[in-house]
């Protein structure tokens, strides 16, 4: 675990969107808030069909089957998987994907005015010439800025002692002429002279690194290709440590590149033999140790080498033990360890470097407090975690670790954490904070006085009045008796908005979740979701099992042979919100991406009548097919999350029982929008393509089913803040249209 974050690690707390889909501004305009039927009638009224006589693409069925454990699976759409992947050059495949895009464009054409209006509304909430709060790191102060109208950032620094501002990276210039652009790692050498940074121009997440001499402004001849992960300066700024990707997009090495030498001479510091593990590197709190970590989703192993002498014999902290996770930091030759070896919610321990595997407890594991992270500073250390699902930031003294100084916040529900704190000797801690009704806020916390100083609150140029909104946290009982928390935001005058729009009874509710990998969805702020909320939607985040919102056990209860708890929790959360009067049957809309897209596929197989519209982004829906294909980039590392159906018959049967693609049957499904990325290395494009093809074949309804594939992007959709926002506008236009809330076109 590397706790030091370079100030040029691109602090984006006030400009990044939250995890929920982006949405837009308040308006009372009947053009955009119109609902012409009552809630009950809307629930019974068929959703709009496809436009005119446009026919959806029909994928050819080609005989294909496979057998495991005596079970044969027919997969007639397997041909959509171009076997030359990651190159996709099969003309039949490309023609079908392009036909789906044409069908998407033709159907959404009539909604272009609504999409544009939503986009304009969303953009009006974003401060175009925004900047991050400057932060000191060594002899320099770093920050980044958006210029008005720009898609990407510029990154700057200036001497802390005073002097001229220096442009480090202009992302807009680097993105010029590129269909896609992403800045990956960025690391300034300790002497401040060199900047190493990496970029991706296809969405494949295979980065290319360059080194810029900040004194001359010129680039060194060194080029590192096909990277994943960070760039770490070592050996007194004469070398970089990096992790290259294999052909299968796995990171199995930590390599050392001496500046000015051919990459063919790079030294392998560590090479992992287990294809399911991934290797990452970072520096310790005092930047004197290089930390080389390897692990999968449930097991860790860490080695240390002196940063000044990275080719020295490494210190193995503790040999890997299946199911034991740990991460480390070093302070004054003392090893600090975060681990779940004796408690599911993790403990904090320490050891000497002479006996690094002899871990002595500093903070014991707790059933109540879920310890998620720790940071070491010169005069104190910080623990982060969650108590009853609520974020906690705690200052502790080395001399008395049990004595806690909590950092408290005024709201009953929020998300908060340490932000960019690059120096070891910090007197003020940089924090980030937000809630579902409070825009992102950056604080400095004065350690000596225990006072919070507000440095910046997210500015919303078109206006925002928090007093118009209310947020609630309710619990809904799942079918096995588990109480599932749900965070909700809506207008206080929602009833009046719905009444003016002609809605009798509860209005629509949008439900969002992820539910995998122990990734909690915080109750954070989003300017974009206001475009639904201000039209009478309630917006809810279901904190379902599979995430670690309520502790590590909450995560474990949603993986492997308990995976279906995740889907059941989401379905039951929606049903519970209907029962509590927040919405009505058929008035729930839902969205999720990646593993959250898998969730969307599972819930419509289980309870399609609940939903009025579904948006599934890059959905992981061919779970069985992907977990059986060990050649794919992520598969070996994913077996700990989903199970290995190749070797385990029970895992095969269990995954088959819920895999959304395999469980599609002849029945009515709600209107759906599905997205994909042709260059996506995480959820390959053919998963959503196959799923949509099968749905088109067997579904018994006439509801609209659209698929959009970004031909030059990957897992995260289009790059650039306006391109990304436009895709959110498309998503919300689709939802409003299918819920009968789009403005009527002339002549209707």
Catalytic residue among 266, 391, 715, 719: 715
Exposed e or buried b per residue across 358-378, where buried means at least 16 C-beta atoms within 10 angstroms of its C-beta? ebeebbebbeebbbbbbbbbe
Structural domain contains residue 673:
yes
pLDDT digits (tens, 9 = 90+) for 181-192: 889 999 999 999
Q: What pLDDT is attached to residue 633?
A: 79
Instruction: Report the share of the chain in percent with pLDDT over 70.
Output: 91
Q: What pLDDT is attached to residue 337?
A: 98
Structural domain contains residue 613:
yes
Query: Omega of the bond prior to 86 within 30 degrees of 0, cis?
Result: yes
Structural domain contains residue 593:
yes
Q: What CA–CA distance (Å, rounded) separates 473 from 486?
A: 6
Residue 45 has pLDDT above 60, yes or no: no
Indicate if 170 belongs to the active site: no
Structural domain contains residue 391:
no
Query: Which among 620, 728, 740 is positioned nearest to 671, based on CA atoms?
Result: 740
Total number of domains constituting the chain: 1
Q: What CA–CA distance (Å, rounded) separates 535 from 745?
A: 18
Residue 421 has pLDDT above 60, yes or no: yes
E-assigned strand segments in 64-152: 65-68, 71-74, 135-137, 140-146
Label the pairing between strands 538-542 and 509-512: parallel
Catalytic residue among 189, 594, 659, 719: 594
Residue 719 has pLDDT above 80, yes or no: no
Residue with tokens 């070891």: 424
Q: What is the DSSP letter of 606?
A: H
Indicate if 137 belongs to the active site: no
pLDDT digits (tens, 9 = 90+) for 284-293: 999 999 999 9
Residue 38 has pLDDT above 60, yes or no: no
Structural domain contains residue 452:
no
Structural domain contains residue 652:
yes
Q: Identify the domain containing residue 680 by its residue range.
A: 30-124+463-738
pLDDT digits (tens, 9 = 90+) for 345-371: 999 999 999 999 999 999 999 999 999
Indicate if 680 belongs to the active site: yes
Residue 708 has pLDDT above 80, yes or no: yes
Structural domain contains residue 470:
yes
Catalytic residue among 78, 222, 296, 680: 680
E-assigned strand segments in 458-601: 469-477, 483-491, 509-512, 538-542, 588-593
Q: pLDDT band for position 4 (50/70/90)? A: very low
Q: What is the CATH number of the domain that holds 668?
A: 3.40.50.1820
Q: What pLDDT is attached to residue 463?
A: 94
Q: Are 718 and 185 in contact (CB under 8 A)?
A: no
Average pLDDT for the chain: 89
Q: What pLDDT is attached to residue 411?
A: 86
Q: pLDDT band for position 40 (50/70/90)? A: very low
Structural domain contains residue 526:
yes
Contact partners, residue 400, CB within 8 Å, separation at least 6: none
């Amino acid at each position: 675990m590397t706790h030091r974050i370079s100030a040029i690690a691109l602090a984006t707390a006030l400009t990044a969107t939250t995890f929920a889909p982006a949405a837009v501004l308040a308006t009372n305009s009947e053009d955009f808030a119109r609902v012409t039927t009552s809630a009950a009638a809307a629930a019974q009224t068929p959703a709009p069909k496809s436009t005119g006589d446009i026919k959806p693409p029909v994928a050819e069925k080609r005989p294909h089957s496979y057998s495991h454990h005596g079970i044969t699976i027919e997969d007639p759409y397997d041909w959509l998987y171009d076997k030359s992947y990651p190159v996709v050059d099969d003309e039949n495949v490309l023609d079908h994907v392009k036909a789906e895009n044409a069908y998407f464009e033709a159907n959404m054409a009539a909604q272009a005015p609504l999409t544009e209006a939503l986009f304009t509304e969303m953009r009006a909430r974003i401060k175009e010439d925004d900047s991050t709060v400057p932060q000191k790191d060594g002899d320099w102060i770093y920050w980044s800025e958006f210029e008005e109208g720009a898609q990407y950032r510029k990154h700057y620094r200036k001497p802390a002692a005073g002097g001229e501002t220096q442009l480090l990276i202009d992302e807009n210039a680097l993105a010029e002429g590129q269909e896609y652009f992403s800045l990956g790692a960025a690391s300034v050498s300790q002497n401040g002279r060199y900047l190493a940074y990496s970029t991706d121009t296809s969405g494949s997440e295979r980065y290319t690194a360059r080194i810029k001499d900040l004194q001359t402004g010129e680039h060194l001849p060194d080029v590192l290709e096909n990277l994943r992960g960070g760039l770490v300066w070592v050996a007194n700024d004469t070398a970089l440590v990096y992790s290259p990707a294999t052909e299968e997009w796995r990171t199995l090495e930590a390599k050392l590149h001496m500046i000015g030498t051919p990459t063919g001479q790079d030294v392998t510091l560590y090479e992992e033999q287990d294809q399911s593990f991934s290797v990452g590197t970072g520096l310790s709190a005092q930047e004197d140790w290089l930390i080389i970590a390897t692990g999968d989703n449930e097991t860790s192993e860490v080695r240390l080498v002196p940063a000044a002498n990275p080719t020295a014999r490494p210190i193995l902290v503790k040999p890997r033990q299946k199911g034991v996770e740990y991460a480390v930091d070093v302070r004054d030759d003392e090893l600090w360890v975060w681990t779940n070896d004796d408690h599911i919610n993790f403990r904090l321990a320490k050891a000497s470097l002479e006996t690094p595997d002899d871990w002595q407890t500093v903070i014991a594991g707790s059933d109540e407090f879920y310890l998620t992270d720790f940071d070491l500073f010169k005069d104190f250390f910080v623990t982060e975690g969650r108590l009853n699902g609520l974020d906690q930031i705690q200052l502790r003294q080395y001399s008395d670790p049990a004595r806690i100084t909590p950092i408290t916040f005024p709201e009953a529900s929020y998300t908060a954490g340490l932000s960019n704190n690059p120096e070891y000797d910090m007197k003020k801690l940089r924090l980030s904070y937000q809630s579902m009704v409070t825009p992102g806020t950056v604080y400095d916390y004065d350690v000596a006085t225990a006072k919070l100083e507000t440095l910046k609150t997210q500015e919303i140029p078109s206006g925002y009045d928090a007093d118009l909104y209310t947020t609630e946290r309710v619990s809904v009982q799942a079918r096995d008796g588990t109480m599932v928390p749900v965070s909700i935001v809506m207008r206080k005058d929602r009833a009046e908005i719905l009444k003016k729009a002609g809605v009798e009874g509860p209005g629509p509710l949008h439900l969002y979740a992820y539910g995998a990998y122990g990734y909690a969805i915080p109750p954070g702020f989003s300017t974009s979701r206001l475009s639904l909320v201000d039209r009478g939607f309630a917006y809810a985040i279901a904190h379902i099992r599979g995430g670690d919102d309520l502790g590590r056990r909450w995560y474990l209860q949603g993986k492997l042979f308990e995976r279906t708890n995740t889907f059941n929790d989401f379905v039951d959360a929606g049903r519970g919100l209907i029962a509590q009067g927040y919405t009505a049957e058929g008035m729930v809309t839902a969205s999720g991406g990646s593993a959250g897209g898998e969730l969307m596929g599972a819930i419509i197989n289980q309870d399609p009548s609940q939903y009025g519209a579904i948006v599934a982004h890059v959905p992981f829906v061919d779970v069985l097919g992907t977990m059986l294909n060990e050649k794919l980039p992520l598969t070996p590392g994913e077996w700990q999350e989903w199970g290995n159906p190749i070797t385990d018959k029970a895992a095969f049967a269990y995954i088959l029982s819920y895999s959304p693609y395999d469980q599609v049957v002849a029945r009515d499904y709600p209107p759906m929008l599905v997205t994909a990325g042709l260059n996506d290395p995480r959820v390959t494009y053919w998963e959503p393509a196959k799923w949509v093809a099968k749905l088109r074949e067997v579904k018994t309804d006439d509801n609209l089913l659209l698929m959009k594939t970004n031909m030059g992007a990957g897992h995260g959709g289009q790059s650039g803040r306006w391109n990304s926002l436009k895709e959110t506008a498309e998503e919300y236009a689709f939802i409003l249209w299918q819920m009968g809330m789009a403005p009527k076109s002339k002549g209707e």
